[in-house]
Amino acid sequence: MKYALVKPLIKLKKGLNLLDYSIPGALSENLKIGQLVEIPFRNSSKFGIIFDIKNETQENIKIKDILKISNQNPIISENQIKFYKWFCDYNFSSLNFLNNIIPLPMKNKIKEKDEKFFIYKTPFKLKNINSSILENKQFIFKHNFFDEKLTLIKNTIDKNFKNKKITLIICPTKIHIEKILSSLLNFYTEKDYRIITGLTHLSKLKHNEIWNSIKNNKLRFIIGTKISIFYPMENTKTIIIDESENENLNQIDINPRFEFLPNVLELSKINNSQIIFTTYSPNAYLYNLAKEKQLKLLETKEKVNTEISVLDMSTKYFENYLHFFTEEEVKNNQKILFLLNKKGYSKNLKCRDCNFVFRCEKCNSVLSIKNEKLHCYNCEKSFDAPITCPNCNGAKFNNYGVGTEQFTKIIKNNFQNKKVITIDKDNYKNLKLTNQSDIVVATRIIIDYIKENEYDLIVIPFSHQFLNNNFDSNEDFFELIAKLISLKPKKIIVQCIGEQKIHEYIRNNNYKSMIEDELNMRKLLKYPPFENILKITIKDKDKSMLDKKTNELYDKIKLNIGNNVDLLEIVDKNTKVRSFYMKYILLKYKDESDISSIKKLLNEFDIIEKNYFKL
């Protein structure tokens, strides 16, 4: 008797990735790894994928028979299976993500609505770049401008198509997909590509068509978000990661959660694919791989003409936000962008007598001022502004921090003859009004919508808003400036309160010194890429139950970890998210083998993030 390891395409408990099924004699000759089959599950039949075929089973219960083979040809390759298994082990994940990836037979072929993409041909002229760089197997392409990257992408697509191979382009967001495709439409038609952003944006009919087009090698290229790594790869020659420094590649609010770069590197290794990272400013992880000779770092030489000015506001911060910004400067710059990192009127309201800070009654988050009310951006609820302090009955309050709403008011008062608009999460619709405005006050939500040469001047009036306590804060801020430079403004002004090293690097556009400084600091503090940080999230609606669960897990981990693992203090932000209280346990370790003794324990928890250290 032979047995098959099957992943049922339904949601299972995290520990139940693969189940044993016996193979009836009638199916034994035709059954292959990677096929779609029908299996009995409880009182009905379900679809499943064959992950392995073996001669024995360790199950003590009666093993059910596979009912029938649904597809004679395997739907997934053995390399895909190899990657899926590695992925689950590395990311503490289940295989449940396959439930939304694998194409299933359709009973009724009714075409449903697919998500709309705003893709239209935009004028584009190719640059002259050295075609010999495509001979490199794995490399980072550090460029200054969009057209350099687009030329590299087009040359790669054409070279692979000559060899009857597909190019996969992975983008951080849907907006990046639209921007790249709009330029590529100068050279290709709709039949040459497919878009992947997960099953949720597709009808089942369209999803099946995309999967089969990739399998049958009918495309020139695929373009999609990070979920694309789970699709067929046997005909893919090159994986291009667009804007590899963009933090959206590591967003953890999708299922499955995973740290993108190590996973895509492993994918390319398993499939023997070429891999190219395009970037305006390589992150520390990639730069360190280049330093260790695991990747090549190739840079373009096109000159940057943007003037960068850093102004220290230490002595004049509260006197005048615009002390450097004169009417003459407004006249010399036709269009200006002020970039802030805080929406709303101000960050918080504080009692002047006792320093009491007003917080949300439900989640304990610091309240912002919005439309003359106290607003919680976590709960999205507003409260009436207080008359007196609940702590000391004082009636004098200070607003701390400057948001887009308050800054827009300041700008309008200073430049009454200019049309000013605000763009942030609360004023998203104003994006369509940028062409009609002279001055725009916005959060970084605007950046991916800006066209080259659209703004003559970009000002960051409060750079300290972008420099927080996260270990990658300096690197993140430098990446932001590099992205702004790529938009080709005439001038960038960065305002600071006390100049730091990062401001010096920005003034001189000195990437190498910045990243070397970052790596030295991270090595000293045992931060990524030198050691891993694992964040375990424990949540419960009951605060006392959460405390109990967290303490029990902490004690179990402490008892079982080896000497090479640092168990840090429990983090309690004392806030509520969607009615859940949350606590975090943080671990630091160097190698995967260091946590082998607690892997089984960790696999019981759904929310585990690796190296995405945002608390």
Same domain, 598 and 513: no
CA separation for the pair 31, 314 (Å, rounded):
73
Same domain, 279 and 311: no
**pTM attached to this predicted model:** 0.89
Domain presence at residue 386? no
What is the band of 318 on the pLDDT scale with cuts at 50, 70, 90? Answer: very low
Same domain, 32 and 10: yes
Quote the distance between the C-alpha of residue 326 and its chain's center. 39
Select from 522, 550, 582 the last residue of a domain. 522
Give pLDDT, residue 514: 96
Question: pLDDT per residue over 552-597, tens digit each?
Answer: 999 999 999 988 999 998 998 777 777 888 899 999 999 999 999 9
For residue 603, the tally of other CB atoms under 10 A from its CB is 17
Q: Which of 69, 72, 83 is nearest to 38 (CA)?
A: 69
Q: What would the mean pLDDT of 423-430 be, rounded to a whole number?
A: 90
Quote the distance between the C-alpha of residue 154 and its chain's center. 24
* Low-confidence winner among 28-42, 165-179, 307-321 (lowest mean pLDDT): 307-321
What is the band of 331 on the pLDDT scale with cuts at 50, 70, 90? Answer: low
Query: To the nearest 5 percent, what fractions of the chain are helix, strand and coil?
Result: 35, 25, 45
Q: What would the mean pLDDT of 456-471 be, rounded to a whole number?
A: 86
Question: pLDDT per residue over 118-163, tens digit each?
Answer: 788 888 888 888 888 999 999 999 999 999 999 999 999 999 999 9
Domain presence at residue 72? yes
Q: How many residues would you count in the chain?
A: 615
CATH number at residue 591: 3.30.70.600
Check if the beta carbon of residue 220 is closer than 8 Å to that of residue 167: yes
Same domain, 162 and 261: yes
Mean pLDDT of the chain: 87
Same domain, 493 and 579: no
Same domain, 238 and 184: yes
* Low-confidence winner among 317-321, 452-456, 511-515, 562-566 (lowest mean pLDDT): 317-321
Q: What would the mean pLDDT of 391-406 be, rounded to a whole number?
A: 79
Give pLDDT, residue 322: 55
Same domain, 486 and 581: no
CA atoms within 13 A on the CB side of 449: 18
Question: pLDDT per residue over 472-529, tens digit each?
Answer: 899 999 999 999 999 999 999 998 888 899 999 999 999 999 999 999 999 999 999 9
For residue 436, the tally of other CB atoms under 10 A from its CB is 9
What is the amino acid identity at position 166?
I
Same domain, 211 and 265: yes
Q: Give 55: exposed, middle or buried? Use CB within 10 Å, 0-12, 13-18, 19+.
A: exposed
* Low-confidence winner among 47-51, 133-137, 342-346, 555-559 (lowest mean pLDDT): 342-346
Q: What would the mean pLDDT of 461-466 be, rounded to a whole number?
A: 86
Select from 100, 121, 152 the last residue of a domain. 100
* Low-confidence winner among 259-263, 338-342, 584-588 (lowest mean pLDDT): 338-342
Q: What would the mean pLDDT of 178-190 be, rounded to a whole number?
A: 95
Domain presence at residue 384? no
pLDDT surpassing 50 at residue 319: no
SS3 348: strand
Domain presence at residue 496? yes
Same domain, 415 and 491: yes
Check if the beta carbon of residue 253 is closer than 8 Å to that of residue 116: no
Give the tokens for residue 566. Answer: 């640092």
For residue 203, the tally of other CB atoms under 10 A from its CB is 17
pLDDT surpassing 60 at residue 253: no
Domain presence at residue 58? yes
- CB neighbour burial string for 571-596, b if at least 16 within 10 angstroms, e if fewer: eeeebbeeeebbbbbbbbbeeeebbe
Check if the beta carbon of residue 163 is closer than 8 Å to that of residue 237: yes
Give the tokens for residue 221. Answer: 């290229």
The arrangement of strands across the sheet holding 368-370 comes to: 368-370, 373-376, 381-383
Same domain, 536 and 484: no
For residue 511, the tally of other CB atoms under 10 A from its CB is 20
Domain presence at residue 356? no
- Between the two ends of the chain, the Cα-to-Cα distance in Å is 52
Same domain, 510 and 569: no
Same domain, 314 and 463: yes
Domain presence at residue 116? no
Question: pLDDT per residue over 231-246, tens digit each?
Answer: 999 999 999 999 999 9
Question: pLDDT per residue over 88-125, tens digit each?
Answer: 999 888 899 899 889 988 776 555 556 677 788 888 88
Select from 469, 492, 522 the last residue of a domain. 522
CA separation for the pair 261, 244 (Å, rounded):
8
Residue 267 vs residue 129, higher pLDDT: 267
CATH number at residue 93: 3.40.1440.60
CA separation for the pair 573, 287 (Å, rounded):
33
Give pLDDT, residue 360: 79
Q: What would the mean pLDDT of 294-303 be, rounded to a whole number?
A: 92
Domain presence at residue 446? yes
Question: What domain count does the chain have?
Answer: 4
DSSP 313: -
DSSP 394: -
User: Rounded to 5 degrees, what are φ and ψ at 414?
Assistant: -80, -35
Q: Which of 559, 554, 556 is nearest to 538 (CA)?
A: 554
Give pLDDT, residue 365: 73
CATH number at residue 260: 3.40.50.300
Domain around 536: 532-610
Check if the beta carbon of residue 48 is closer than 8 Å to that of residue 68: no
Give pLDDT, residue 576: 76
Q: Which of 475, 477, 550 is nearest to 514 (CA)?
A: 475
Cα 401 to Cα 295, 349, 391, 439: the distances in Å are 42, 9, 22, 21
